[in-house]
Structures are given as C-alpha cells and as structure tokens.
Amino acid sequence: MSTDIGATRLGHLNVLVADHNTAVAHYRRLFDTEFFLFMHVPDVASTNTLGVIGDTCIELFAPYHADSVLGRNLAKQGPGAFAIEFTVADYEQAREAVLAHGLRITAADAPHYLWIHPADLGGLSIELSPAQFRGDPRAETGWSTDRWADGPLGIVGLRSISIEVTAPAAEVAAQLHSLCAAKVTDEGTVSGRDFVEVQIAGETFRLLSPSPQGASRGKMASLDFTVRNLDAVHQWARTCGVPVVEAAGGARLALPAELNLGTRIEFVQA
C-alpha cells in the first residue's frame, strides 16, 4: 500500500463567491483571468467556473441555494479561497495513502475526486483528483504566461499560498512530508508567528502556526504572486481603482480580502 498520494501538480484553488457573474467580471477586470470552463453542478447547488491567472488555476464556486452546504458555508464563513485541489496520478493510490495515514475522507466520487477532513490535517481543506479539465489552456501546445508577465501587474508566477493552520506549522509540515512528499524549504517567524514553507508538486505553501489565542479552523491567509516590479502594482491599483497596502514591512504589497471578494492577494517583487 502506497503512503504517498502521488500529487503531480497544484490543480486549482477553490474559491467561494456570492455571485457568479459578479465574480467572473471582477477576476477578469483585475487579473485578466482566462476562464475556460463553466459548469452547472446541481449535486452541490452551485455554478462553478475554472480560469487561469498565469499558470495558476482557480475554480469559483457560486452557490445558488442558501440552504445548500456551500450556501451555509458562505453565510457562516464568508467568501474567499477555501481549499486546495491537487492533481494526482492515480485515484486509488491517493485514496489508499489517505486511509493509511488515518485521515478521514469527508466526500468522494470514485474515481473522480475525494476530500480529506480538514480537522485531520491541521485545518487544511484538500481535494484530490486525477481529472484533467477540458479546455484547460495550460495543456495547449505553445501555452505561455507571457500575457500576464507583460501585462499591467507583471505577474511572473505564484510565489506561495499562505495558510493559517490549526496546529503548530512544524507538525503540519511533518504530516505533509509523509502524505505528499513535501519538502521543507524555509522556516522562521513572521509577525510573532512561526511559519514553515513546504514544497509540494513544485508549488510552495507557507504554513502559519496559530496565534496564541489558537484557531478553530484553518484559513487561506493569502495567495502570493511574484511580480516584476512593485511600482507597476501601484500603477495597476490606481488604474483599477483598488487601493493596495504595504505588507511584510514594505517588502510586499497586498490587495485586502475585503476588496477582492474575500481572498487576500499579496505581491512580491521578483
């Protein structure tokens, strides 16, 4: 029995939004998001839409019933990025690895996807799927991210995903090492909180330990994009009419979650 889920890439980030059309227009206007798949999903009473910002894919979940699971989550927790989907090489290998580590599966549709219980993994909400979505531009011959690198924001790529976890970051990193072959690439303290950065399937995840008050659930703290020049981010913000704020002592700029439909974006100069 394999004890590694066999993650091959970061498939996409799941983002909960209140209104589908508003969210699509917002992400197109601010980030030149290229949407390629629109889905009506009656099983979860949601309209889902996939799009790319450079080589990073997001999936918008827009519940249309307030009493659905997603609708209740939206009312309770608010909008924003809430889960990570890893593409895996083999569904059964991934399922066996999850069970071998004593982790609970909260939902599954074999052989399409499964979800790991966040409480078993430091508050991380993770979906595993072997699916390759039709129309994904990243699979096309000659695909390039130059349009974003040369665009107003100058996005070079995804630097990291910062996540507030419910257990010490080092403990969650050890779990991910065993489950996902995660490699520790950095660790330290930021704003009085310990952090550990791990790399999984070529992407970096910054795990932030709970504050002294603790944390009852995990939370996506920010999506961190590398840009060519922070001055260009200031110009982009003025043009779009969205203020950005300094972060990390001025080393970063941030678009607050309140101005981005619940998801904080941080920009780091290359």
Name the residue ranges covered by the structural domains of the chain. 7-139, 146-269
Domains 7-139 and 146-269 share a fold: yes
Residue 58 reports pLDDT greater than 90: yes
Rounded Cα–Cα distance for residues 46 and 71 (Å): 9
| pLDDT tens track for 138-173 | 999 999 999 999 999 999 999 999 999 999 999 999
Topology (CATH level 3) of domain 7-139: 2,3-Dihydroxybiphenyl 1,2-Dioxygenase; domain 1 (3.10.180)
- Backbone φ and ψ for 137, nearest 5 degrees, come out as -65, -20
| pLDDT tens track for 20-42 | 999 999 999 999 999 999 999 99
pTM here is 0.95
Class at the top of the CATH hierarchy for domain 146-269: alpha beta
| pLDDT tens track for 89-108 | 999 999 999 999 999 999 99
Rounded to the nearest 10°, the torsion over CA 61, 11, 125, 90 is 120
Q: Using an 8 Å Cβ cutoff, are 52 and 43 in contact?
A: no
- Measured from the Cβ of residue 6, the count of other Cβ atoms closer than 10 Å reads 20
Predicted local confidence at residue 43, as pLDDT: 87
